[in-house]
Chains A and B, each alone.
Chain A
Amino acid sequence: MANFLDTTVDELIENFEFLGDWEERFAYLIELGKKLPPLDESEMVEDNRVHGCQATVWLRMLPISGEPLAFEIRADADAFIVKGLIAVLLLVYSGRTAQQITATDCTETFARLGLDKHLSPTRRNGLHSMVSRIKALAAESVAQTV
């Protein structure tokens, strides 16, 4: 699926490595965040809230027609660095099938980006909440179709 970043995880990692210090890398994350398609006001509702993040985060999974069923993930936040992290998550998970989503561990991607070490523990918890939500929604949709 064409994505809004028009890049792959490997390219992203390459770009990240090219950047010198962490100030520049955070700046890059902010730029990724700016490219994230915003949610509509009507989607920013309690049902779509992901709790456990310091920022306010909303997340939706929309089925894409086809067999097996894949999902487009749409998410937004009120802080840009969090939006940047969401952009990375979407690159990993959006457009995949429920089975692929539940089987994919993003830990390695974040480790290769060095984000595992440079994100604060509270941010890592927030990220974990988002990944858990994505996987839970994927598992839920599988359970419903069976």
Chain B
Amino acid sequence: MNVPAETASLAKRDSVIDWAALRDDFPILRGTVNGHPLVYLDNAASSQKPQQVIDAIRHYYEHDNANVHRGIHELSNRATEAYEGARQRVADFINADSCDEIVFTRGTTEGLNLVANTWAFDNLREGDTILLTEMEHHSNLVPWQMLAQRIGAQLDFIELTGDDGQLDLQWLDEQLARARLLSLTHISNTMGTVNPVAEICARARAAGVVTVVDAAQSAGHTPVDVQAIGCDFLAFSGHKTCGPTGIGVLYGRRELLEAMPPYQGGGEMISKVEYRDVTFNVIPHKFEAGTPNVAGAVGLHVALDYLDAIGREAIFEHDQRLAKRACERLAEIEGIRLFGPAEDRSAVVSFVLPDAHALDLATMADQKGVALRAGHHCNQPLLAKLGVPATARASFYFYNTEAEVDRFIEVLHEVRKMFV
């Protein structure tokens, strides 16, 4: 029943991608903001949705909506098929061995909290070490802090080398030798760093350390293959991958998921219930208490079809092209501080100007239709380490154009004049 990503397929005809035609699939990008054409450069916070995804959600509610798994009637069967079909689609998208290893969540945050509260709570003891990096989003820091406080575990961090946003891996084996669990981001939401997760996970595995990868910034932008990465858990969000809000994915390796206790109790996650006893359902249902976000899963299915029709290698190349152009133009500004690697970076570009505060820049850019992010990007410890209260951030996606990069730079120059 899902609407195929027709336009995406058409736009890719003869293996030459017509990026402008893809952009036409996104109704919101035709809009204006404060009287100017919208230039949406806040994709690291949330991506926009193609018409195909919007239509699929509408179609689901107009034709197939019912509760899943328990029904005997036609609509419930359709809803169940749609929901479980989405699960298989996710498994294919990240090359999981089986759809049993795919747990639907609200988003990356819930996936990370689930691991902290189930596998980690069950397996970590007082005095154990949880290894993180200094560039983690609060969603991959605070759940571990909360767990560490509860069980008396401690946190250790892989340090940053500096403004270039690279992880300092020279002590990694020593740090792994002391750790039980490593959780790290694939792509930094502030610095745009692409971490060598496969290499790090291989070294962790050799040290017997369980690995969790935060793929919120990577899943929709670059190929993510859980078997090639070799992680134990991986989490991402639908809304950053052209899908709806409120749906996310937690991948977990079968042996770990099977041995883990459930996260929340309720309907769907049980197989037998008595007044004083309960037998839990099999994976992945054991982790999905209550009526799930079926419409979200349906939308996510189509979003992943859409991304794969374009190809994530091509999306990453496009991202990099725009980021490179933006970084080159930004570097021309005297006194600017640019964060993240000079090369091989993702499409997240953070910077601080010498004469204008990030909040002022973003507010005035918004008056000219350019959507930027300004602030700490849910990365307060990282910004404290870098010694800045806030950065401005432009983050690109495949529907952004080189003309938009130029417009962003032009607006930045116009706006700067107001503060000197």
Residue A55 at the chain B interface, CB threshold 8 Å = yes
Given the interface pairs A21-B35, A22-B34, the reply to whether A54 lies near B418 with Cβ below 8 Å is: no
- B367–A79 touching, CB < 8 Å: no
Contact with B along A2-32 (1 / 0, CB 8 A): 0000000000000000000111001100100
Residue of B34, B35, B360, B418 near A79 (CB, 8 A) is: B360
Cβ–Cβ < 8 Å partners of B368 in chain A: 23
Specify which chain B residues have a CB less than 8 angstroms from the CB of A30 in the assembled complex: 360, 418-419
Tell whether B76 is near chain A: CB-to-CB under 8 Å.
Answer: no
Candidates B34, B356, B359, B364; contact of A54 at CB < 8 Å: B359
Q: A22-B367, A54-B390, A56-B389 are in contact. Are A80 and B35 (CB under 8 A)?
A: no
Check A79/B359 contact, CB under 8 A, given A27-B418, A30-B419, A54-B375: yes
Q: Which residue of B lies closest to A33 (CB)?
A: B360
Query: Does A88 count as interface, using CB distance less than 8 angstroms?
Result: no
Assembled-state Cα–Cα distance A23/B374 (Å): 18
Min CB gap A41→B, angstroms: 16
Q: CB-CB contacts of A55-87 with B at 8 A, as 1s and 0s?
A: 110000000000000000000001111100000
Question: Is there a chain A Cβ closer than 8 Å to B357's Cβ?
Answer: yes
B142 to chain A, nearest CB (A): 18
Within 8 Å by CB of B363, from A21, A56, A81, lies: A81
CB under 8 Å from chain A, chain B span 363-406 = 363-364, 367-368, 374-375, 389-390
How many A-B Cβ pairs are below 8 Å?
A: 39
Q: In the complex, what's the smallest C-beta–C-beta distance from B294 to chain A, in angstroms?
A: 30
Return the CB mask of B24-43 against A: 1 if under 8 Å, else 0: 00000000001100000000
Give the distance in Å from the alpha carbon of A56 to the alpha carbon of B387 in the complex. Answer: 13
Task: Give Cα A55 to B392, complex, Å.
Answer: 12
- The answer to whether B418 touches A78 (Cβ under 8 A) is no
- Closest A residue by C-beta to B376: A54
Residues A80 and B34 in contact in the complex (CB < 8 Å), given A22-B367, A23-B364, A23-B367: no
Name the residue of chain B whose CB is nearest to the CB of A80: B360
B143 shortest CB reach to chain A, Å: 23
Contacts of A55 in B (CB 8 A): 357, 359, 389-390
Known A-B contacts A21-B35, A54-B375; the reply to A26 vs B359 at CB < 8 A is no
B345 CB to closest chain A CB, in angstroms?
A: 26
Contacts of A56 in B (CB 8 A): 389
A30 to B418, CA, bound (A): 8
Instruction: Tell me the bound Cα distance from A30 to B367 in angstroms.
Output: 14
Q: What's the least CB distance linking A81 to chain B, in Å?
A: 5
Which residues of chain B have C-beta atoms less than 8 A from A22's C-beta?
34, 367
| Contact across chains for B367 and A80 when beta carbons are under 8 A apart | no
Residues from chain A with Cβ under 8 Å of B35 in the complex: 21
Residues 203-223 of B contacting A (Cβ, < 8 Å): none
- Chain A residues with CB under 8 A of B419: 30, 80
Complex: how many Å from CA A26 to CA B419?
A: 12
Report B-chain residues with C-beta under 8 Å of the C-beta of A26: 363-364, 367
What is the bound-complex CA distance between A93 and B390, given in angstroms?
A: 29
Residues of B within 8 A of A23 (CB): 34, 364, 367-368
Which A residues, 114 to 133, have Cβ-Cβ distances below 8 Å to chain B?
Answer: 120
The residue on B at minimum CB distance from A126 is B359
A3 and B356 CA atoms in complex are apart in Å by 26
Nearest Cβ distance between residue B358 and chain A, in whole angstroms? 8
Tell me the complex Cα distance, A54–B357, Å.
11
Q: Which residues of B contact A78 (CB under 8 A)?
A: 357, 389
Contacts of B34 in A (CB 8 A): 22-23
Determine which of A21, A79, A120 lies in contact with B357 in the assembled complex, contact meaning CB atoms within 8 Å: A79
| Contact residues in A for B389 (Cβ distance below 8 Å) | 55-56, 78
Q: How far is the CB of B393 from chain A (nearest CB, A)?
A: 13
Nearest CB of chain B from residue A28's CB, rounded to whole Å: 11
Bound together, the chains give a CA A56 to CA B357 distance in angstroms of 11
Residues in A neighbouring B364, C-beta threshold 8 A: 23, 26
Assembled-state Cα–Cα distance A99/B24 (Å): 59
The smallest beta-carbon distance between A104 and chain B, in angstroms, is: 27
Q: Which residues of B contact A (CB under 8 A)?
A: 34-35, 356-360, 363-364, 367-368, 374-375, 389-390, 418-419
Can you give 20 A-B contacts (C-beta < 8 A)? A23-B364, A23-B368, A26-B364, A30-B418, A30-B419, A54-B359, A54-B374, A54-B390, A55-B357, A55-B389, A78-B357, A79-B357, A79-B359, A79-B360, A80-B356, A80-B357, A80-B360, A81-B360, A81-B363, A120-B363
Q: A26-B364, A79-B360, A120-B363 are in contact. List 15 more A-B contacts (CB 8 A).
A: A21-B35, A23-B364, A26-B363, A26-B367, A27-B418, A54-B374, A54-B390, A55-B359, A55-B389, A56-B389, A78-B357, A79-B357, A81-B359, A81-B360, A82-B359
What 3 pairs between A and B have smallest CB-CB spacing? A79-B357, A23-B367, A79-B359
